[in-house]
């Protein structure tokens, strides 16, 4: 029996950050992870491999299409998909090893196995090889993450009908990829395979893509992706899928009901959301249960069971790596009696397509629904000199400020590298900045970040460059 101050179940961004912070604070910490490598969904089959393929496919498309030629670079690239996948896998392996290093550095024990809560303060860990270890812990943190939501009638076999993990490791470029769900995964992985040569059709139940993002930003992104060749079937539902060795036959109907049409694809990606993962966790042994969506509730990261905490995708809030990380820090700080807190109002959201979409804070739709008076400043990337020079002029920066106080309430960016720029507004908004604060802050020229300042200036109609 090994005794710990804190045992963490799951080694994803929630779990590994909690473990490392616990180690830093001098707690005796163990992280139980059953996967062969640390890093969870994010490092192994999520954020990182998807970004590796987005980066490589973006360069491939730039080289094959008119983009390089227009810059005066004449090349005739050929796709080596095997190498593209290999470099992705190598980068992922490097990252997961990095977490092992950080565990050693911070004296965290990685217990290899699947954790189960056996009772208050008691956890068992069973490895795939059949060994079993018992641990005691003053605190248990559940960080077991999420899994793809299944779609009845469209069974994922990861041969022809794929989840995101399958779509990150195909050994050939699909001729026709049908993506079910126009959310983040559908748009990112749909973009990857389109750039590599696939015809891509996205079937979405709602009448818009990316529900929840600012409607104007979502529309702009959809227009851009359509121009790139992605076909969208909105307000449509897939009612059945039959797969064979060579492809899949899908039946698609209007969401509201009506005549069905048939779609043929050689691969289908099901990306209709993710659901919390708590299988085999032994929640019943400490009187815990999940809600209808499989979610474990929390109050400031505490579950209803004393000494048991919960963070990341398995609990409420956006299913994002940086949200899991923030909760990990706040949870462990609370365990040691510090005042850890997460500001859920300011968790940024990014879609890593081209152009990218990045946002933080409230949307116009949310403000209208709340009856709150606001003003908007917008600035298009067509008027930004750096974006123009780089031939990347799609999109805009939009800043929404309170009508009376001028406090920035929401920022919505569609454009080049906006994922790297949204952090500026996260910091500003944490300090309750007004649009004028940003408008009066010097930004380097020539950079795309100037568009963010000009948008803030335009809240009072004083953008100088358009
Ligand atoms: P996870 O990362 O899911 O980790 C949970 C871990 O717990 C897993 O490793 C699992 O094996 C382990 N586990 C489960 N049960 C047990 C048990 N009983 N015992 C031991 N171990 C257990 N988010 C972003 O912010 N940015 C992105 O760009 C992004 N891209 C994504 C792309 C894809 C394709 C996908 C699928 C997701 C993406 N996400 C992204 C979401 C992100 O991966 C998750 O929000 C994040 O990984 C959640 O972290 P977590 O620690 O809560 O859970
Ligand atoms: P999602 O929630 O982003 O999008 C799912 C989409 O599927 C929605 O548009 C929804 O309306 C639609 N849908 C639901 N049921 C449907 C049906 N039966 N038929 C057709 N469409 C249907 O979920 P997604 O893309 O699977 O991603 C899961 C989560 O992973 C994201 O919500 C996000 O939290 C995380 N993620 C984050 C990324 C990032 O930060 N860049 C990248 C990838 C994933």
Q: Mean pLDDT over residues 336-355, rounded?
A: 97
Q: Do 355-460 and 2-147+275-345 have the same topology in CATH?
A: no
**Residue 204 pLDDT greater than 90, yes or no:** yes
Query: With bands split at pLDDT 50, 70 and 90, how would you rate the model's confidence at 65?
Result: confident
- What does the pLDDT read at residue 465? 86
pLDDT band at residue 392, thresholds of 50, 70 and 90? very high
Ligand at minimal distance from the CA of 53 is: 1
Q: What is the pLDDT of residue 176?
A: 98
> Per CATH, is 161-272 categorized as 3.40.50.1100?
no
Average pLDDT of the segment spanning 1-20? 96
Mean pLDDT of the chain: 97
Q: Give the confidence band of 112 by pLDDT, cuts at 50, 70, 90.
A: very high
Residue 181 has pLDDT above 90, yes or no: yes
Of 40, 183, 271, the one to substitute when testing ligand 1's pocket (max ligand atoms within 8 A of C-beta) is: 40
Tell me how far the alpha carbon of residue 33 lies from the centroid of ligand 1, in angstroms: 12
Stretch 397-421: mean pLDDT: 98
> Tens digit of pLDDT for each residue in 432-457?
999 999 999 999 999 999 999 999 99
Query: What pLDDT, on a 0 to 100 scale, did the predictor assign at position 1?
Result: 62
- Homologous superfamily of domain range 2-147+275-345: FAD/NAD(P)-binding domain (3.50.50.60)
Is the per-residue pLDDT at 295 higher than 70? yes
Q: Is 301 a catalytic residue?
A: no
- 401-408 average pLDDT score: 98
Rounded mean pLDDT, 117-133: 96
> Which ligand 2 atom sits nearest the alpha carbon of residue 187?
25
Q: Give the pLDDT band of residue 212 (cuts 50, 70, 90).
A: very high
Q: How far is the CA of 425 from the centre of ligand 2 (A)?
A: 25
The CATH T-level fold of domain 355-460 is Enolase-like; domain 1 (3.30.390)
Average pLDDT, stretch 80-102? 98
Percent of the chain exceeding pLDDT 90 equals: 99
Give the residue extent of every domain in the chain.
2-147+275-345, 161-272, 355-460
pLDDT of residue 466: 85
Give, using CA atoms, the residue closest to atom 41 of ligand 2: 351
- Residue 5's CB is within 10 A of a number of other CB atoms, namely 16
Q: Find the 51 Cα to ligand 1 centroid distance in Å.
A: 15
């Amino acid at each position: 029996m090994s005794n710990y101050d804190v045992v963490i179940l799951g080694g994803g961004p929630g779990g590994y950050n909690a473990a490392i912070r616990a180690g830093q604070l001098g707690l005796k910490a163990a992280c139980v992870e059953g996967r062969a490598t640390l890093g969870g969904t994010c490092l192994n089959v999520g954020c990182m491999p998807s970004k590796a393929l987005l980066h490589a496919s973006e360069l491939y498309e730039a080289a094959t299409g008119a983009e390089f030629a227009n810059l005066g670079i004449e090349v005739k690239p050929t796709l080596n998909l095997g190498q593209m996948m290999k470099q992705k896998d190598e980068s992922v392996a490097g990252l997961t090893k990095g977490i092992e290093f950080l565990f050693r550095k911070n004296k965290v024990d990685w217990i290899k196995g699947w954790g189960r809560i056996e009772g208050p303060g008691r956890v068992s860990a069973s490895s795939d090889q059949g060994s079993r270890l018992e641990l005691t812990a003053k605190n248990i943190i559940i960080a077991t993450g999420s899994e793809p939501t299944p779609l009845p009638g469209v069974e994922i076999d990861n041969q022809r009908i794929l989840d995101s993990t399958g779509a990150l490791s195909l050994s050939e470029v699909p001729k026709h990829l049908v993506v079910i769900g126009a959310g983040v995964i559908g748009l990112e992985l749909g973009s990857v395979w389109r750039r590599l040569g696939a015809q891509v059709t996205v079937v979405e139940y709602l009448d818009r893509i990316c529900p929840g993002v600012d409607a104007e930003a979502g529309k702009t992104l959809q227009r851009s992706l359509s121009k790139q060749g992605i076909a969208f079937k909105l307000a449509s539902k897939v009612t059945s899928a039959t797969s064979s060795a060579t492809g899949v036959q899908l039946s698609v109907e209007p969401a509201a009901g009506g005549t069905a049409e048939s779609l043929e694809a050689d691969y289908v990606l099901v990306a209709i959301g993710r659901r919390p993962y708590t299988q085999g966790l032994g929640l019943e042994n400490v009187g815990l249960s999940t809600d209808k969506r499989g979610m474990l509730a929390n109050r400031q990261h505490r579950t209803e069971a004393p000494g048991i905490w919960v963070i990341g995708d398995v609990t409420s809030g956006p299913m994002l790596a940086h949200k899991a990380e923030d909760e990990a820090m706040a949870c462990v700080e609370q365990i040691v009696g510090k005042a850890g807190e997460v500001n859920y109002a300011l968790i940024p959201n990014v879609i890593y397509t081209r152009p990218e979409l990045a946002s933080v804070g409230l949307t116009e739709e949310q403000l209208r629904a709340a009856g709150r008076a606001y003003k908007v400043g917008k600035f298009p990337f067509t008027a930004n000199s750096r974006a123009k020079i780089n031939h990347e002029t799609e999109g805009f920066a939009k800043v929404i400020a309170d009508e009376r106080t001028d406090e920035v309430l929401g920022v919505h960016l569609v454009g080049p590298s906006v994922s790297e720029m949204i952090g500026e507004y996260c910091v500003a908004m944490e300090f309750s900045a007004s649009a004028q604060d940003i408008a009066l802050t010097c930004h380097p020229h020539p950079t795309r970040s100037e568009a963010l300042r000009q948008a803030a200036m335009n809240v009072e109609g004083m953008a100088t460059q358009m």
